[in-house]
């Protein structure tokens, strides 16, 4: 097959500046090539990355793009211009996979030779899916996203299929020896933004830290607005909350191998997202699981696909009247028994293996073949 993967205008691919989705598509593209398919990946231009190159058999084409602003409306307008410039440069292919907002609309109408349109749904729908009537498949990252799209756009219900985001199990894997020096480390990895509930984590940890001597909190992630963070004021709020508490805030880590080391050295990983209409999958929690670190997550529906309470992790009710108290209570249980946390981490690593690049690539390729066969029959 000839497969084109066209990503959005905000983040570079490969992910030299962060983003689980850019990491996902560079990894899946290479896996498709290993399975004897021809792949072109179209992405934004970025300093230090060539406009055109071939890496691991994947042909990269880069141009345009822009930094994320604080205005969704402005970004959508700018993205329309980006998609217009991309659509005419798409190579002829059998399949076009894209997570861009406007490209599914434009390619289905203006560039049909670019391939059957597959929309990668990695964000909670905001009512826009009626625009994608020209897509043959909506590949939802989770059961929660599939259900939400079906409710908002019933006409597309039979075109939606859940294909989860992958984790690079060649890099993200357990290492018991890595926790010898940090046996009581609580970790958060992700954007430092209010919707991620990082302030809730800082406050909840501060409330119970005196009961658990030896435990430390480490918060890793970007805070700059153009990287999806909540800005300097939010970081200062977190620092003030952690004053006098054994916790630290460090910058983002974009190197996958070093990120895996962060996960492996932790005993417990907390991802307290509050984004009921924003969180689609939660890749960071799955990456932590793949590294053998037990996750504690909010009760968002997207986590149900891989986190099972008491078996592969813990869940707290972020919708409770006192969410900080609910998180503090869950942390208290998990931190009280580090040995139990390590045991759950082992189960979590076993569960994460079915989300490897090879496994997810097989699911995508099987779906692509089915779509092409159907199109051939209907022609």
**Does one domain contain both 144 and 180?**
no
**Does one domain contain both 159 and 24?**
yes
Rounded mean pLDDT, 203-210: 96
* Residue 84 domain-assigned (yes or no): yes
Cα separation, 117 vs 97, whole angstroms? 6
Instruction: Tell which residue, 128, 75, 127, has the closest CA to residue 105.
Output: 128
% of the chain with per-residue pLDDT over 90: 82
Q: Report the DSSP beta bridge partners of residue 294.
A: 268
Counts for the chain of helices (H) and strands (E), in that order? 11, 14
* Residue 350 domain-assigned (yes or no): yes
pLDDT for position 280 = 78
Q: Above 70 in pLDDT, residue 161?
A: yes
**Does one domain contain both 360 and 340?**
no
* Residue 158 domain-assigned (yes or no): yes
Q: Hey, CA dihedral for 356, 366, 117, 2, is it positive or negative?
A: positive
**What's the total number of domains in the chain?**
2
Express each pLDDT in 271-309 by its tens digit: 999 988 777 788 899 999 999 999 999 999 889 999 999
Q: Above 70 in pLDDT, residue 182?
A: no
**Does one domain contain both 130 and 222?**
no
Cα separation, 198 vs 241, whole angstroms? 11
**Does one domain contain both 136 and 268?**
no
Task: Kindly give, in sequence order, each residue whose CB lies less than 8 Å from that of residue 84, ignoring residues fewer than 6 positions away.
Answer: 102, 106
> Which residue in the block uniquely carries the two structure tokens 């968002």?
300
pLDDT for position 374 = 94
Please, is 246 exposed, middle or buried when counting C-beta atoms within 10 Å of its C-beta (0-12, 13-18, 19+)?
middle
Is 293 in contact with 187 (CB distance < 8 Å)?
A: yes
**Does one domain contain both 103 and 150?**
yes
Cβ atoms within 10 Å of 6's Cβ, excluding its own: 26
Please, is 36 exposed, middle or buried when counting C-beta atoms within 10 Å of its C-beta (0-12, 13-18, 19+)?
exposed
DSSP 91-144: PP-SEEEE--SSHHHHHHHH-GGG-EEEEEE-S---S-GGGGTT-SEEEESSHH
Q: Hey, CA dihedral for 9, 2, 112, 367, is it positive or negative?
A: negative
* Residue 278 domain-assigned (yes or no): yes
* Residue 171 domain-assigned (yes or no): no
Mean pLDDT of the chain, nearest integer? 93
Q: Above 80 in pLDDT, residue 379?
A: no
The answer to which of 113-127, 202-216, 272-286 has the lowest mean pLDDT is 272-286
State both tokens at 168: 């690079």
Task: Kindly give, in sequence order, each residue whose CB lies less than 8 Å from that of residue 277, ignoring residues fewer than 6 positions away.
Answer: 124, 126
Cβ atoms within 10 Å of 341's Cβ, excluding its own: 25
Instruction: Tell which residue, 253, 360, 364, 367, has the closest CA to residue 306.
Output: 360
**Does one domain contain both 198 and 313?**
yes
* Residue 22 domain-assigned (yes or no): yes
**Does one domain contain both 16 and 120?**
yes
> Which residue in the block uniquely carries the two structure tokens 């700059």?
224
The CATH number of the domain holding residue 74 is 3.40.50.2000
**Does one domain contain both 297 and 335?**
yes
**Does one domain contain both 113 and 227?**
no
**Does one domain contain both 157 and 180?**
no
Q: What is the pTM of this model?
A: 0.87
Cα separation, 182 vs 144, whole angstroms? 35
Rounded mean pLDDT, 344-367: 96
* Residue 185 domain-assigned (yes or no): yes
State phi, psi for 131 to the nearest 5 degrees.
-70, -20
Task: Decide: helix, strand or coil at residue 242.
Answer: coil
| Residue 180 pLDDT level (bands cut at 50, 70, 90) | low
Question: Between residues 310 and 17, which one has the greater pLDDT?
Answer: 310
**Residue-range definition of the domain harbouring residue 235:** 176-354
* Residue 88 domain-assigned (yes or no): yes
Is 87 in contact with 114 (CB distance < 8 Å)?
A: yes
pLDDT for position 268 = 96
**Does one domain contain both 205 and 148?**
no
């Amino acid at each position: 097959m000839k497969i084109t993967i066209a990503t959005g205008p905000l983040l570079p691919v490969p992910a030299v500046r962060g983003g689980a989705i850019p990491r996902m598509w560079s990894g899946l593209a290479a896996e498709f090539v290993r399975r004897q398919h021809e792949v072109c990946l179209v992405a934004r231009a970025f300093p230090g990355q060539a406009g055109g190159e071939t890496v691991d058999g994947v042909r990269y084409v880069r141009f345009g793009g822009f930094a994320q602003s604080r205005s969704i409306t402005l970004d959508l307008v700018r993205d329309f211009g980006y998609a217009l410039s991309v659509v005419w440069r798409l190579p002829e292919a059998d399949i076009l996979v894209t997570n861009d907002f406007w490209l599914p609309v434009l390619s289905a109408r203006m560039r049909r030779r670019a391939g059957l349109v597959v929309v990668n749904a990695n964000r909670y729908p905001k009512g826009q899916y009626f625009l994608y009537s020209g897509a043959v498949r909506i590949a939802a990252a989770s059961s929660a996203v599939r259900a939400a799209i079906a409710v908002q756009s019933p006409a597309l219900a039979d075109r939606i299929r859940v294909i989860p985001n992958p984790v690079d199990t060649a890099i993200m894997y357990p290492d018991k020896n890595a926790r010898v020096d940090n046996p009581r480390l609580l970790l958060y990895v992700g954007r430092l933004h209010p919707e991620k509930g990082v302030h809730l984590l800082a406050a909840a940890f501060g409330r119970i830290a005196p009961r658990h001597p030896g435990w430390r909190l480490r918060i890793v992630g970007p805070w700059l607005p153009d990287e999806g963070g909540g800005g300097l004021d939010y970081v200062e709020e977190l620092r003030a909350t952690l004053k006098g508490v054994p916790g630290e805030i460090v910058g983002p880590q974009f190197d996958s191998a070093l990120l895996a080391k962060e996960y492996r050295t932790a005993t417990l990983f907390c991802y307290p997202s509050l984004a009921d209409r924003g969180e689609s999958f939660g890749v960071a929690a799955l990456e932590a699981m793949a590294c053998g670190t037990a996750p504690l997550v909010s009760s968002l529906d997207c986590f149900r696909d891989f986190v099972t309470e008491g078996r592969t992790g813990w869940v707290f009710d972020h919708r409770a009247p006192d969410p900080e108290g609910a998180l503090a209570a869950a942390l208290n249980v998990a931190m009280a028994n580090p040995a139990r946390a390590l045991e759950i981490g082992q189960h979590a690593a076993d569960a994460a293996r079915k989300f490897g690049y090879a496994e997810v690539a097989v699911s995508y390729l099987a779906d692509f073949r089915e779509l092409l066969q159907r199109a051939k029959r209907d022609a």
